[in-house]
Chain A
Amino acid sequence: MRVDGTDNNLMAQVWAGQVGKLALLFERHHRSLFRYFVSMNRNRELSEDLVQDVFFRMLRYRTSYDPKQSFTAWMYQIARNTSLDQAQKRRGEVIDIEEFGERRPELASSAPGPEESAAKLQDLGLLRRALDLLPPEKREILVLTRFQEMKYDDIAEILGCEVGTVKVRVYRAMRALEQIYFTLAGEKAS
Chain B
Amino acid sequence: MTCDEAKPLMFESWSHSLGEAQELAFEAHLASCETCRVEAERLGGLWNRLGLVAVEEPSANLRSRFHETLAAYRHGLESAPRRSLREKILSFWPKQPAWQMGVSFALLVIGLGVGYAMHPEKRESPASPELAQLRGEISSMRQMVALSLMQEQSASERLRGVSWAYRVPSTDTEVLSALLTTVNQDPNVNVRLAAVDALHGFGSSPVMRSAVMQAIGKQPTPLVQIALVDLLVDLKEKEAAPELRALANDSSADAGVRQHASQALEKLQ
Which residues on A are within 8 Å of B, measured CB to CB? 17, 19-20, 22-23, 26, 30-31, 34-35, 38, 44, 47-48, 51-52, 55-56, 59, 80-81, 84-85, 87-88, 106, 123-124, 127-128, 131, 135-137, 142, 145-147, 149, 151-152, 160-161, 164, 167-168, 170-171, 174-175, 177-178, 181
Partner of B66, one of A30, A35, A136: A30
Interface residues of B in 221-269 (CB under 8 A from A): 221-223, 254-256, 259-260, 263
Partner of B46, one of A137, A149, A174: A174
Partner of B55, one of A17, A35, A142, A161: A35
Contact B8 A146 (CB under 8 A): no
Q: Give the residues in chain B near A131, CB-CB below 8 Å.
A: 50, 53
Contact B70 A84 (CB under 8 A): no
Q: Give the residues in chain A near B66, CB-CB below 8 Å.
A: 23, 26, 30, 51-52, 55
Of B42, B66, B223, which is in contact with the most chain A CB atoms at under 10 Å from its CB?
B66
Contact B254 A84 (CB under 8 A): yes
* Measured CA separation A106–B52 after assembly (Å): 13
Contact A124 B255 (CB under 8 A): no
Contact A181 B46 (CB under 8 A): yes
Contact B56 A84 (CB under 8 A): no
* Measured CA separation A85–B17 after assembly (Å): 34
Q: Is B51 close to A, CB under 8 A?
A: yes
Binds A, one of B57-65, B147-155, B170-178: B57-65
Of A142, A174, A181, which is in contact with the most chain B CB atoms at under 10 Å from its CB?
A174
Which residue of A has the minimal Cβ distance to B51? A146
Contact B61 A48 (CB under 8 A): yes
Q: Is B47 close to A, CB under 8 A?
A: yes
Contact B53 A124 (CB under 8 A): yes
* Measured CA separation A136–B254 after assembly (Å): 11
* Measured CA separation A17–B77 after assembly (Å): 9
Q: Is B73 close to A, CB under 8 A?
A: yes
Of B51, B53, B58, which is in contact with the most chain A CB atoms at under 10 Å from its CB?
B58
Contact A128 B53 (CB under 8 A): yes
Which residue of A has the minimal Cβ distance to B257? A84
* Measured CA separation A86–B150 after assembly (Å): 27
